[in-house]
Structure 1
Amino acid sequence: MFETKTCRSRKGPIPLGDEDHGEIALRPFFMLHDYLYLDDEMHAPIIETTDSAALALEELEREHERLLAQQAVVAEKVEAARVTFRNQRDAILVHGLSTALEDDEALRRAFSAEVATRLRVSDRTATNMVEEAKTVINDLPGLADAWRLGWVSQQHVRAATHQAWNVPKDARRAFDDAITPKARTQTPSRFQSTARKLREKLHPESIEERKKEAFALRQAEVYEDPDGMASITLHHSADVILSIEHGMRVLAKRRKNETPGEQRTLAQLGADILAEGLLSQLGVETLRIGAFGQTPESEPTISDADTDAESEPEDAESSGAEPSDFESGGVESGGVESSERASLHSALTPAQLAAMRPGVVITVPAETLLGKGDEPAVLGGYGPIDIDTATDIISQASSFHRVLTSPVDGSTVAIDPNKYRLSEQVKRLIRTRDVTCGFPCCDVPAERCDIDHVVAWVDGGRSSPEDLVCLCRRHHTLKHSTRWHSEVQPDGSLLWTSPTGAKHVTQRGGADRA
């Protein structure tokens, strides 16, 4: 593609920076002023050809490089905005005894919230954007120049920066020199492995010490998927995860071979086996999850061989035995079928559904419950689910908590506005109404949120439905440590104003997230 030409005392083509040329190539070939002179060589005219496919692919390649270069420009803008934002700290922070965050952390969160709300992305996505831009622009200049030229992708940059975070500051330049040539010649997935190995060589701490720090970050996270589905991601030590994966495959193959007429695929069996193990440890009766449409009578009982595991399961924390919450707009639970009927729409058996008491909130419109409407039910912390699954869960509940709402505007009633301390019933009502955190672009379920007064109690606020809002701990502390603040609008929505003056509106009940 390139002809050999002389440009500013250097001959082309531009070296890729492979193993034999890496050190020589890294010094000059990313300089942007050279790129201006080399533009003709990099995009040499295409030889006349009748091959239209080749022409189309050449154009695709060029446009892809332009797109990658533009992503680098966005990163530069993010970092420039971060520096400017930090320099105005006195106009952003709230100083006082009640602040919950250190100044630097408050600034970091406030800026991430600005980016998240302006770009309409999640707080986590914004935080990653900010930290990745900060690292690549300041600590990995070679990789940054390659990105500006469209020679590496955002996936390469993300893999490199995430590894660089665990490399000491004074070793990051050597890390940059080593990984930049690799980024030009490797796919993102292979480069991720390369960057991890190079990080290992440059890190001054032993892998044992780093494992202890990393192990403290283990967690499980839930993600919403379409069509009534969701995913759970377990971040744990590699030996545990690989052991789980191996045991899942072994049991899935065994069950497939030993169960006559088993129609589930190995992937489906593996998913059901993992779900069974988790449900049993969380207090749900140990019964097999049947295939959809399978009645409890046709489900085989679990055998001793199926419980044989190589590792001991960890103890699960007990969450108590609160009854299910149920909102029907003032309608009782009459008309629900007997708990003895087969569970035809859920993958869980009636006994397992009966054990799903702690923290489950099902909202069913009254007309739908009575069979006169088709509006879907809502599972708290998730969203719309089919009415049959909702009915399965409701039919197993031992008791209900009705949420009384105003027939005019749907607001909750029977809350004493003159009491600062909220009862558990009032907290339940507010969480049921709000569904998620009330901060813009935040989808943390309300059941995991604090309940905050929009107008602070000390400033004349009251414990009325309009003045109470669910805020996750991150945004609750952000509100009280920085100049992010909210106001209730006449229609009940919240108007948020950022420290830089940007305004964002959120609707109660997650309506703007539907």
Structure 2
Amino acid sequence: MADNTESEPQSGHSAPQAVAVLDEQLGAACASAYRVAFSALSPAIELATSFPYVHTSTPTNLQCLNECIKVSNRADAQIVRHIFQVFEKPTFVHKDRFGVVDATPEVIAAETGMSTYKVRQLRDVGSILQTLPLCSDQFDQGLVSLSVIRAVTSKLSNSAAQVCLAVDAALAPRLATLSPNAAAKEVSDLLIEIAPDEEDKAHVRASEKRCVSRPVKTANGMAKFWINMPAEQALALDSVLNELAHSAIRNGDCRTYPQLRADLLAEIMVKVMSEGFATETTCGEPFVIPPMKISVTIPFEVLARANPDWDPHPNSADGVLGDDVSMDEGEIKVLDDLEHVILGPVTINDVVYGPGASVPQYPAPAPIEREDAEASASPCGRIESAWLEGYGAIPPALAILLSAGGTWQRIVTDTLTGQPLDIGRERYRPPAAIETAVKRRDRFCQGPRCGRPTGRFEMDHVIEWQDGGPTSVRNLMLLCHRCHSLKTRKLARLVTVYSDGTRVWQIGSARSVESPRRPFRRRYSPPDDEDPPPF
């Protein structure tokens, strides 16, 4: 008679213990292999940075560049694989009566230093690569770059697995010779040839994801955004802008064609803002949007630059570059030693510290370089920049231009720190005043590795209300809806807040140090022969 009883593992470990041991061994072996690969780059780096390499020919440089790109491509393939594997396990998924929240992007971002947006992008790439074995193999060999793979996978995001396999077989033989744009076009053509009916369904699914992004800040007071919409809508928008721009040029407008397209689109939107807008809904009642406004915060020292007699604050760059500026002139406000408070239990060196405890062993942010409390510094400091809501800092000239007209609200701030002290008497309800002050101070989402400048913001207590935290400017911070949800569900825990505003978040096993976006300002002290400013 056969014995149906299950036998114990021969190693003496239970099944979960054996799995844990194997997992630890595999992790150590994989990490060791990567460290070896990293060290193997050292000889190539030493050769490439040596003096004789300066005299190498262009073909030699191109040959080395190709080999280096292969190494980079292979590393990118492994990064995509590891990110996909982390998402496959529900380690950081939280379910409650409010819904499901996945903190995996924030955990990976805290561990690696990548943005959560890029983490999600690479997750999507890894997911679709599961249905592209041939292209994935070329990626693993370093023959194809991540940009090409992303171009391919983005086109296949709404396609069925069997369609992806057919595209993979047709595309793989020439994928290594294609640029990202050529690869994307090739996939688009293949989808129509291989599965025209499926492509119609994919178009319907894709059109459901039509959107216009929020503005992305670029340099010099500029911004950009992208539009994802069905082709017929995009062509209609393009045709209107094209006709408007050409009509303006025919009537003698001196602006260029690209400038006119941008200006005329903005003019249409500004007209909607100033006059309002009425529209129909597809599944609801008609609605009317009243005229809107955008807030611009302009410090007095910026606005005063419009006065020709105003002696502006010195430019700190001029002081750094000037030969006649001595570092022993003037004074600098020296911050006291950073003190921090513990907002929740934290274990350091096997000791558990509770709320309110002082933990000198906890690693502080990078120390402030200074000599001592009596040290002096350059009289050249920073000025506070003007601020456009939903965008960020803007140049002084643009701020002065935007200040013409409009509705003004007085906000008095501390000269040294820029913190709001008095929001005026226009807003008499205390909660509204506190909210205005917090928004004026933070401006960005203060969540871990987030920093969104726009979107749905919510007020969050640093020390929770149920734990005795007051509703005050000091105990409130600005969080976007997602970061607030992560904190509420304990997926991201605020561990430490330093006196300079730096926050330490605990996300999974990693800690993310978030520095304030508006650092303490340096005080300007005029030379002894000048009178002090009248404030």
**Same topology, TM > 0.5:** yes
> Deviations along 1:19-72, whole A, 9 cap, x unmatched?
xxxxxxxxxxxxxxxxxxxxxxxxxxxxxxxxxx99633652453343244233
Alignment correspondent of 2:528? none
Give the Å deviation of 1:396: 0.9
- Taking structure 1 as reference, are residues 84 and 468 closer, same or farther at Cα in structure 2, changes over 3 Å only? same
Counterparts of residues 39-438 of structure 1 (less than 5 Å)? 56-57=58-59, 59-80=61-82, 82-84=84-86, 87=89, 89=91, 92-93=92-93, 97=97, 100-102=98-100, 106-107=101-102, 110-136=103-129, 138-201=130-193, 206-221=198-213, 222-259=215-252, 262-283=253-274, 320=290, 358-366=293-301, 369=304, 371-374=310-313, 375=383, 376-397=385-406, 399-406=407-414, 409-413=417-421, 423-438=431-446
**Paired residues of 2:111 and 2:510 also in contact (CA < 8 A):** no
Counterparts of residues 488-503 of structure 1 (less than 5 Å)? 488-503=497-512
Residue type matched to 2:419 in 1?
S
**Paired residues of 1:112 and 1:127 also in contact (CA < 8 A):** yes
Give the Å deviation of 1:317: 7.5
Q: SS at 2:419's partner residue?
A: coil
**Paired residues of 1:94 and 1:480 also in contact (CA < 8 A):** no
Alignment correspondent of 1:302? none
Alignment correspondent of 1:452? 460
Residues 1:468 and 2:407 are matched in the alignment: no
**Paired residues of 1:123 and 1:441 also in contact (CA < 8 A):** yes
Q: SS at 1:226's partner residue?
A: coil
Using the alignment, how far apart are the partners of 2:99 and 2:209 within structure 1?
Answer: 20
Residue type matched to 2:250 in 1?
N
**Paired residues of 1:485 and 1:497 also in contact (CA < 8 A):** yes
- Taking structure 1 as reference, are residues 488 and 422 closer, same or farther at Cα in structure 2, changes over 3 Å only? farther
Structure 2 stretches of 5 or more lacking a match?
1-54, 314-382, 424-428, 522-535
**Paired residues of 1:435 and 1:509 also in contact (CA < 8 A):** no
* Length, aligned pairs only: 383
Residue type matched to 1:363 in 2?
I
- Taking structure 1 as reference, are residues 199 and 461 closer, same or farther at Cα in structure 2, changes over 3 Å only? farther
**Paired residues of 1:65 and 1:149 also in contact (CA < 8 A):** no
Give the Å deviation of 1:391: 2.2
Give the Å deviation of 1:159: 1.4
What TM-score do the two structures reach when normalised by structure 1? 0.65
Using the alignment, how far apart are the partners of 2:398 and 2:106 within structure 1?
Answer: 36
Give the Å deviation of 1:96: 5.0
Using the alignment, how far apart are the partners of 2:516 and 2:188 within structure 1?
Answer: 43
Structure 1 stretches of 5 or more lacking a match?
1-52, 287-311, 322-356, 416-420
**Paired residues of 1:431 and 1:470 also in contact (CA < 8 A):** yes
Residue type matched to 1:77 in 2?
I
Give the Å deviation of 1:409: 4.4
Using the alignment, how far apart are the partners of 1:117 and 1:252 within structure 2?
Answer: 46
> Deviations along 1:338-365, whole A, 9 cap, x unmatched?
xxxxxxxxxxxxxxxxxxx624132324
Using the alignment, how far apart are the partners of 1:497 and 1:384 within structure 2?
Answer: 29
Alignment correspondent of 1:345? none
Q: SS at 1:125's partner residue?
A: helix
Using the alignment, how far apart are the partners of 2:520 and 2:88 within structure 1?
Answer: 34
Alignment correspondent of 1:353? none
Give the Å deviation of 1:161: 1.5
Using the alignment, how far apart are the partners of 2:108 and 2:222 within structure 1?
Answer: 29
What TM-score do the two structures reach when normalised by structure 2? 0.63
Alignment correspondent of 1:481? 489
Q: SS at 1:465's partner residue?
A: coil
Alignment correspondent of 2:9? none
Residue type matched to 1:498 in 2?
I
Q: SS at 2:513's partner residue?
A: strand
- Taking structure 1 as reference, are residues 366 and 318 closer, same or farther at Cα in structure 2, changes over 3 Å only? farther
Q: SS at 2:75's partner residue?
A: helix
**Paired residues of 1:434 and 1:510 also in contact (CA < 8 A):** no
- Taking structure 1 as reference, are residues 483 and 364 closer, same or farther at Cα in structure 2, changes over 3 Å only? same
- Taking structure 1 as reference, are residues 409 and 250 closer, same or farther at Cα in structure 2, changes over 3 Å only? closer
Using the alignment, how far apart are the partners of 2:459 and 2:193 within structure 1?
Answer: 47
Q: SS at 1:466's partner residue?
A: coil
Percent identity for Structure 1 against Structure 2: 22
Give the Å deviation of 1:205: 5.8
- Taking structure 1 as reference, are residues 167 and 213 closer, same or farther at Cα in structure 2, changes over 3 Å only? closer
**Paired residues of 1:440 and 1:506 also in contact (CA < 8 A):** no
Give the Å deviation of 1:158: 0.3
- Taking structure 1 as reference, are residues 199 and 207 closer, same or farther at Cα in structure 2, changes over 3 Å only? closer
Q: CA RMSD in A?
A: 3.6
- Taking structure 1 as reference, are residues 385 and 80 closer, same or farther at Cα in structure 2, changes over 3 Å only? closer
**Paired residues of 1:65 and 1:151 also in contact (CA < 8 A):** no
Using the alignment, how far apart are the partners of 1:67 and 1:367 within structure 2?
Answer: 47
